[in-house]
Amino acid sequence: MDEIIKELQALNIGIVKQNEPLSQYTTMKIGGPADLFIEPSSVESLQKVMGIIKAHNINWRAIGRGSNLLVSDKGIEGVVIRLGADLAEVEINGDKVKVGGGYSLVSLATMISKKGLSGLEFASGIPGSVGGAVYMNAGAHGSDISKILTKAHILFEDGMMEWLSNEEMEFSYRTSILQKKRPGIVVEAVFKLAHGDRTEIVKTMQKNKDYRKETQPWNFPCAGSIFRNPLPSFAGRLIEEAGLKGFSIGGAKISEMHGNFIVNAGNATAQDVLDVIQHVKDTIFDLYQIKMETEVEIIGRK
C-alpha cells in the first residue's frame, strides 16, 4: 500500500488518506476504516486513480454522501473513492441540466426549483449525491431518477469513460446496470426537465420536505430506507404491523416514526444494525411468509 500511496502523491490527484474512519462520511455515522481513502480533485485525477487501481489489481468502491450505506465495523479493504466538491459542477442550458456526480441531490433540486424547472421535486429530501442517486435510481413520491435522466457519463473500472443513455443504464426499482453488470462511477449526469410555474414547483418541493420531516427520523443518524418495498406490500407498514417499531439492539433502533428506518440512537455499531435487520427479516417471514430484501447497501469486511 505504501508504494501505491507514493504513486498517488506523486501525481497530486487530491486528498489521499490511509486507514481513514468512514463513520464521518456516512449519514448513519457508522463504519470502520478504509485501507486507502481518496477524494480526487478532478475528473482527470479520478481517471489516474482508476489507472493505478487497475495496475495494482486493488479492490475499490466509490461513495458519494454516504446516505444509503452501512459500512462494516471492520472497514473496507482496498480503496474508497469519494466524489466531493471538486466533481460537483452544474451547467444549465434551457430545460437540460448537466451536473457532476459529487453534487448534492437536495441542493440541485432546490436550485432548479427556484429557476422554474420541474422534474426533481421528488428529490427534495433525499440526502445523497447525484452520482449515488443515478447509481441506485433513487426515488420518492412516485418518481425516480429514471424518469428524468437523459444520459450519464461513467468511468468504468477498466479506465474507459463512456456516456450511457437512459436505456443503457437499465434502470429498475432502486437499481441500475452499475450494480448489476458493469461497476462504474457516475462522473456526470444530464437531466431533461420541464419548464413550469416556479411558485407551484417550490410549493411541491416544500410539501415533500415537510412530509419527510413529519414522517421520517432525519434528526437521528440514519441511512434512509433499510428495506425494499415487497410490492404490493410496503416495508414500513409490515414492520409496524408486526409491532417492531422501537425494537433495538445495542445502539441501533427501529424508528418510532417510520418502521423502515433504523436509527443510530447512540454509538451503534454496524453489527447492531445487522442484528436488527436480521430480526426484522425473521419476524416478517414468520408472520407473513414475505422475504425482506435490503435497499441499503451493506459493504466492507465481514
Residue 98 near residue 90, CB atoms below 8 Å: yes
Which residues pair with residue 195 across a beta bridge?
A: 117
Please name the CATH architecture into which domain 2-82 falls.
Answer: 2-Layer Sandwich (3.30)
Please name the CATH architecture into which domain 217-299 falls.
Answer: Alpha-Beta Complex (3.90)
pLDDT at position 71 over 90: yes
pLDDT at position 3 over 90: no
Write out the three cell numbers for 212. Answer: 419527510
Active-site entry in 61, 82, 174, 212: 174
Active-site entry in 45, 67, 225, 255: 225
What is residue 195's three-state secondary structure? strand
User: What's the pLDDT score for residue 255?
Assistant: 97
Mean pLDDT lowest for which of 46-50, 77-81, 123-127, 246-250? 123-127
- Stretch 84-101: mean pLDDT: 95
CATH number of 88-214: 3.30.465.10
Strands 76-82 and 33-40: parallel
pTM of the prediction? Answer: 0.91
Which residues pair with residue 39 across a beta bridge?
A: 15
Element (H, E) at 181: none
User: What's the pLDDT score for residue 45?
Assistant: 95
Euclidean distance between CA atoms 282 and 171, whole angstroms: 29
pLDDT at position 213 over 90: no
pLDDT at position 111 over 90: yes
pLDDT at position 212 over 90: no
Is residue 225 part of the annotated active site? The answer reads yes
pLDDT at position 125 over 90: no
User: What's the pLDDT score for residue 271?
Assistant: 98
Write out the three cell numbers for 192. Answer: 431533461
What is residue 155's three-state secondary structure? strand
Is residue 295 part of the annotated active site? The answer reads yes
User: What's the pLDDT score for residue 9?
Assistant: 86
- Stretch 67-80: mean pLDDT: 96
- Stretch 196-204: mean pLDDT: 94
User: What's the pLDDT score for residue 218?
Assistant: 84
- Look at the alpha carbons of 276, 282, 288, 294 in this order and tell me if their dihedral is positive or negative: positive
Average pLDDT, the chain: 95
Q: What percent of the chain has pLDDT over 90?
A: 85
User: What's the pLDDT score for residue 151?
Assistant: 98
Residue 104 near residue 65, CB atoms below 8 Å: yes
Q: Give the tens place of pLDDT for each residue, 7-28.
A: 988 989 999 999 999 999 999 9
User: What's the pLDDT score for residue 83?
Assistant: 94
Q: Give the tens place of pLDDT for each residue, 234-288.
A: 999 999 999 999 999 999 999 999 999 999 999 999 999 999 999 999 999 999 9
Query: Domain segments of the chain: what residues?
Result: 2-82, 88-214, 217-299
| Other C-beta atoms lying within 10 Å of the C-beta of residue 214 | 8
Q: Is 133 exposed, middle or buried (0-12, 13-18, 19+ CB in 10 A)?
A: buried
Active-site entry in 20, 39, 121, 295: 295
Euclidean distance between CA atoms 131 and 193, whole angstroms: 18
- Strand ranges for the chain from DSSP E: 14-21, 33-40, 60-63, 69-71, 76-82, 90-93, 96-100, 117-118, 139-140, 143-144, 149-156, 161-165, 184-192, 194-195, 248-249, 252-254, 262-264, 297-299
- Stretch 167-171: mean pLDDT: 98
Euclidean distance between CA atoms 60 and 53, whole angstroms: 7
